[in-house]
Each structure stands twice: as C-alpha cells, then as structure tokens.
Structure 1
Amino acid sequence: MSPTRDRPLALTMGDPAGIGLDITLDTWINRQTWQTPPFILIGDPAALAQRARFLGHDVAIRVTDCGGALSVFQDALPVLPLTCATAVTPGEPDSANAGAITGAIETAVRLTMDGEASAIVTNPIAKSVLYDAGFKFPGHTEFLADIAERLTGDSLQPIMMLAGPKLMAVPVTIHIPLKDVPAQLTADLIYRTCAITVRDLKDRFGLTSPRVAVAGLNPHAGENGALGLEDDAVIRPVVERLKAEGINITGPLPADTMFHDRARATYDVAICMYHDQALIPAKALGFDDSVNVTLGLPFIRTSPDHGTAFSLAGKGVARADSLLAALRMAQQLADNAARTA
C-alpha cells in the first residue's frame, strides 16, 4: 500500500452556508460509483446533518479522528468536529462562523504537517464574510502560507495553479488590482514563480522535464517595445536565465495565441502575468473539472475552482465535479510525492 493510502485526505467544510456541504455529501454518497478517495471532513457535524436533511439524504455521520476515518469511510461520513458559533442557514452566510471556517483550515494544515492526513482539500470560502470578522488575507492561498510559516519558521512563496485536463496555468501576481500588476511584476517574482512551479511539477506531478510557456504582459508580448517595455526588459531576461539553468522554457509569448489546441500541445504549464490572464482560459477550458492547486508549500493542497455559490446551497443543484477532481488530484499528488521523497 502507498504510504499515503493509510491516511485520509483532510477536507475542510468551507463556508457552511455555501455549497461546500452539499458537494461533500454528494462525493461521499457516490463514493463507490465515483471511487471517491477517503477523506475526513473538518467541520460542524450538526450543520452537515442539517444539510443532509435539507437535501433529502439519509447519510450516516460518524464523529472520529484521522486515525479512525479510513475504517468508517465506506459506512459513514467521518467528521472531525468543529462547532459553528451560530446556526447555519443555507445561502445565508454569517461572519459569526468565521472562527469555525478558519479553524477548519488551520486544523487541516496541522493534521497534514503532523502526518495524520496525506493532503488538504479545501471547500470554498467567501472572503467578504471573513473580512467582516477581521480576516486579513487576500485569499485562501495567502492564509495557508501564513499558517505554514508560523508552524515552520520558513519564509514561503505560495503559488496558485489552476489544473484541468486541458490546461495548467499559474498567475505570477494573484489578488491585486490590474493597475498594480506592472509594479509588482519583478524579475525576482517571475523567477521564483517559475522555479517553484517546475520543482513541484517534478516532485508532485511526476514530470521529468516540465515544458514551461511564459506569457507576455502586454498585447503581442510588447511588439518589440511598441506596446510596452516590460516584456523585453523584465520577462525575457528571466526566461533566458531559466533556460540557461536547464529548464525547458519559452517566452514571453503573446497571450492571445497561447491557449488554442495546437499551442497547448507544446507545453505542460502556462505561466501568466496576472490573475485573469491565467484563470479565464483555465476556467473556459475546464470549468467543472479544473482544480485549484497551491504550490510552494510544505504540504499538498487542492480545492474546487469555484466559489461558495450561496444561491445554490441546500437546493440539490450544485455540481460536485470540481470537488471530486480536487480529491482525486490531492490523492495522486500525495502518492507522487511519496514516491519521489
């Protein structure tokens, strides 16, 4: 047995008023048909039981710890309990429950870094709800990095990657306004993003020599300076440096011609300069089955690539495709990492 298969995945509940509980129930109910990797949900068992009743599901829920999760998974949905501060109503988020939402994430990190869980899968959160309770991070990715830095004492650069069956894409800058991108887009940031991405593609995705395509910032990758200087002055020297270090890399390339079928066949990952440059093609090519993967951390973390969808919560219409893909990818990455350790 793989050393990761004797531990469950740690799945956080996300915002309990969103669809995270709905899709968690679906992935467990269909566990045999879908071959769902075993997980333990970190969250409020009462909220989960209430959501099951809302949806008309007869689900056995078992409060346990990571050590007991595998033995009960086929018969009951294992839950490591955290209690929400106030009752959960589907579609009606409440910042009073922010502590339970972030607490589930912190617990998942600790369990994984302690070796009790093999990887982390996070259900969606709504940052606006957390901001009302004092949450200070731009998103999930930065919060995870902060927890890891506090636990390890290391300085980390978390990297967001959208991974789907047709495209893997990484934005160099993430949750910042578009007007701030050129100032934030330094040679050092681009270099570290590319280097960490290549390392994790080797160690976790099993790619011996990842092929990297780097997008330009400006239209037509700057058109030799006519449409902007950043492509030639900042991006190109980084690409040449990485190429000299033996990385299979090309760019900067015009972003408008990087994502058609023939172009995608020439690389394994696209490094993009800002959030939407990466996420628009990634979601257009695989909205239901793409996975948000965080690279650059001392543990594996995946997540569905959609949000909380409060308007769908408790109605039985939310699709579990992306969560199922996130669970499967987390298990596969954990297996790959164990083999290369």
Structure 2
Amino acid sequence: MIKPLRFLTCLLGAGLLSACVVAETGYKIETVTDQVRSPWGIDWLPSGEMLITDKKGKLYRLKPERSLQAISGLPEIDVNGQGGLLDVAVHPDYANNGWLYLSYSSPAGEGRGSNTAVMRARLEGAALVDARVLYKASPNTGRGQHYGSRIVLDGKGHLYFSIGDRGNRDENPQSLSRDGGKIYRLTDDGKVPTDNPFIDESQALPAIYSLGHRNPQGMAMHPVTGAIWLHEHGPRGGDEVNIVKPGANYGWPILSYGVNYSGTEFAEGHTREGYESPIHYWVPSIAPSGMAFVTSERYPAWKGHLLVGSLKFGYIELCRLQGNKVVATEKLFEGIGRVRDVKQGPDGLIYVATENKGIVRLVPSEG
C-alpha cells in the first residue's frame, strides 16, 4: 500500500523543479510545466491537452510536447488583487459541442472596478471564438478580494459557479437581490433553469442557487451522488467544507467558526436552525483552494476521498470521507508550494497548480 506522504525534498536544476525525493516512498512529483507562474485553473480537452489559466490574464494550451500555446480572444480582464483570469472548465460533451467556460474579473457594466463574470466560447486554432458572457455580477467594486469563481458542469445541462462576497459581508451574502456570497446555477447555454429555488421570488436574482457564502474557491461534483461540494475561505479560522443544497443558507456572516483578522469576534454563533452547518471546518485557516475527489486506481489509499489544496501552508489536505462526513484529515506533500488548484486528469493522475512553480503531477512510483 502507498504510504501517506509527509515531507518532500526537491532537487532544483537551472531554476526548474527537476525531481522530488519524498521522505516516505511511494510517489514521484513530476513537473508538467514551470512556465505558467500564476496558474489558477486547469482542465483538459478530449485530446488530452491541458488548458491553463494564468491569473495575470493569459490562457494557455499545453501541447503534447509540453510547449505552451497562448490563446487569443480573451475579454477585457481587470487584473488586481485576487482578480484576473480565474477558472476554466471544458464541457463534458466538448467533443460534440466545443464549448469551454471561463471565469474572470470583468470591468464591464455598472460601477468602477470589476466583478466576477462567466463566459462561454469555442476554441478555434489558437483563438477563442463565439464568445458570450453568460453572467456578470454587479455592481463593480474596487475591492480586490473574494471573486470566488470556481466552475462546475454537472453533465446534465447545468452550470454551477461561485461568486464570493467581494469584501462586503454586511450587504451581499444574505441578500437575494444582490450578487456576491452565492452559488449560482444556469443551464450550460446561460439560461435560468425553471426549477431554480428563488425563481418565483420577485426581488431575488433568479440564477442564485444558495446563499450565505464567503469566498468559495474550491468546488467539485461528487462522483457517486452527483452533489456539488465546495469549500470556502473563512476569515481568521473557519474555512468550511459544504455540500450545496438548493435554496440553502450557509450563514455567512451571521454564523462562523472564525474571527476577525484582528482577533475580535463578529459571528452570532456557530449553528442555528434554518441554516446549513459545514460538514467540516478548519481552525486555524488553511486558506483552501482547489479540490478533487479521487476516483483513480492509481491512488488506492486515497480512492473515494477528497483532496484540498492549502494556499497558506503549502500542502495538500487529504480529507477521509465516510458518506457525507469528513472523519479524518492528513497533510500531504508539505512544502509543495501555494496550491491554487487540484484536479484528477484523464490519465488518472492528480495534477496540482502551484503559485510560482507551475503545474506538477503526483505519480505513484510503481506507475
């Protein structure tokens, strides 16, 4: 059995991550590319080529020989603070419809600054074509935090995406008439599904699927149940893992396990009837980003469990699951760097996007 990984030592050559030797045997860490220094999101085309977003406003296709092809045709992007070109998702039926989806901080629309937008486009050669914005949050704000921006397509015609509270916790997350602090659901062509939970409420934004979120930067569909899972940043402590339910309120900022960055308390409590409680939380905060359910036979010790990246501490958290409960956690690959995204690739390997290092993959040594 493959042993849990605790520490790693990296051998560097000519500025490249050339090899990693782990303290407990069982894994190799291979560099896929070190040429994207601010990767935010990754996904794969049916050809096996990887699409990589660079937060600084660039989209790349990784060619089979590991060269990068820059993709043109991107919209105007407000690169600031936590904003930029963020997630990318390839439609499950891409081979037939050619659609891919991007989230980014858009300056278009009402107000100065920017807010989260989600667009759909096709890839023709090295350019995006047929681009259309499916959703643009408003109003814009000059605050540079909490864009959210993870995207999930469920394969049943639905597009889910997150928008953080945009640094305005007092007004946005608990208001159905305001963008921010929400999970949204559209059809994959940008329409509002007729069974969305707030579609019949006159003052509600009809695309809202759940509310009371802070800044969800990890979202994935459970491979067995089809439920949408997410994690979100708390302030000083109180990062959460939640399972998204239609119409549910997750309590931010009324309920939280965290405190203000100054150390003062703000929440009215941890739980309350009528609000959803997290299935897991972290105190202190690990600053989670990216998440993936492991279904691959390449990782028998992790199969059926959840991987979550840590920006703050630079490791991957293995969340061991029993049904819908996190029953134990383990720190893996300590020192790997600030993890921005974690995905299982079509080859069954786990890929990790790390700030200032690029994309690496975790290869069982026997593989």
TM-score scaled by structure 1?
0.31
Q: Relative contact order (C-alpha < 8 Å, sep 6+): which is higher?
A: 1
TM-score scaled by structure 2?
0.30
The structure that is helix-richer by fraction is: 1
